[in-house]
Amino acid sequence: MAALSRMRKRDHGTIVNVGSALAYRAIPLQSAYCGAKFAVRGFTDAVRTELMHDGSAIRLVMVHLPAVNTPQFDWALNKLGMRPQPVPPIFQPEVPARAIVEAALNPDRREVWVGLPTVIAILANKLAPGIRDRYLARTGYSDQLTDEPVPADAPANLFKTADGDYAARGRFDSRARDVSYQAPASRHRTALTFGLLGLGCVGLTALLTRTRESGRDEIVAGSVVKNCTALAAEE
């Protein structure tokens, strides 16, 4: 709201709120986190419509992230006994960072979904939420917990800042992906759509041409057989 108050004076700017696939699909063990993400999505949608009502040129975009390799899985208060992990597949923080910058510079979409797992989670929940409930009840715990016990001196930042030299990345470098092919495809979706349509047209044209040529070959073959049959009858 502080940023919005400054932007209103010049009626210009873009606000990017960071969401998650969990802003659409809540999962076990993360009720507080999911509730917060749902709230941010609702808040963003409400403020966006208020700005549209006022005729404001300020844009609001929400970027929804996949599982990201950040230090939150080391400094968050943990009472489960085992060290947590993001639900695989995991992406390096640079992947959503690029998407956030792109959304800020080109705010032509109300939402950006980063990574194929995010797309699948959101769409699957829209299509079959009950099935997702049962699936997450079966896999949601094991997917988020490792076999490593929580260290006795593990930090917790619930009530105070956690001590330690933390950066953008967490401890999952060996498992994290440096790129999401869905993200650039989403950014260039118009060009990709026209490209696929072009390929489809080329393929359809080739198929029709081959069909016509095959039809002509069958006509010629039929004529040859007919002539040969006639000659055999004359003899």
Task: Tell me the pLDDT tens digit for each residue of 128-167.
Answer: 999 999 999 999 999 999 999 999 888 888 888 888 888 8
CA distance 6 to 8: 6
CA distance 128 to 139: 16
Question: In this structure, are strands 82-84 and 145-149 parallel, antiparallel, or unpaired?
Answer: antiparallel
CA distance 34 to 49: 23
Q: Comparing 152-166, 180-194, 210-224, which segment has the lowest mean pLDDT?
A: 210-224
User: Does the pLDDT at position 105 exceed 90?
Assistant: yes
**Backbone dihedral angles phi then psi of residue 160, each to the nearest 5 degrees:** -155, 160
Q: pLDDT tens digits for 57-72?
A: 999 999 999 999 999 9
CA dihedral 98, 101, 106, 112 (to 10 degrees): 60
**Backbone dihedral angles phi then psi of residue 176, each to the nearest 5 degrees:** -85, 145
Q: Are 76 and 161 in contact, with CB atoms under 8 Å apart?
A: no
Placement of tokens 């800042």 in the chain: 161
Predicted TM-score (pTM) of this structure: 0.78
Neighbours of 103 (CB within 10 A): 23
Q: pLDDT tens digits for 4-48?
A: 989 999 999 999 999 999 999 999 999 999 999 999 999 999 999
**183 or 134, greater pLDDT:** 134
Count of residues in the chain: 235
CA distance 173 to 175: 5
Q: Are 112 and 194 in contact, with CB atoms under 8 Å apart?
A: no
Neighbours of 62 (CB within 10 A): 24
Neighbours of 198 (CB within 10 A): 10
The region that residue 64 occupies, defined by phi over 0 for left and psi between -120 and 50 for alpha, beta otherwise, is beta
Q: Which of 177, 169, 24, 12 has the alpha carbon at shortest distance from 104?
A: 12
CA distance 231 to 12: 87
User: Which CATH entry fits the domain spanning 2-186: 3.30.420, 1.10.10, 3.40.50, 2.60.120?
Assistant: 3.40.50
pLDDT band at 223 (very low <50, low <70, confident <90, very high): low
Neighbours of 115 (CB within 10 A): 27
83: amino acid identity, one letter? R
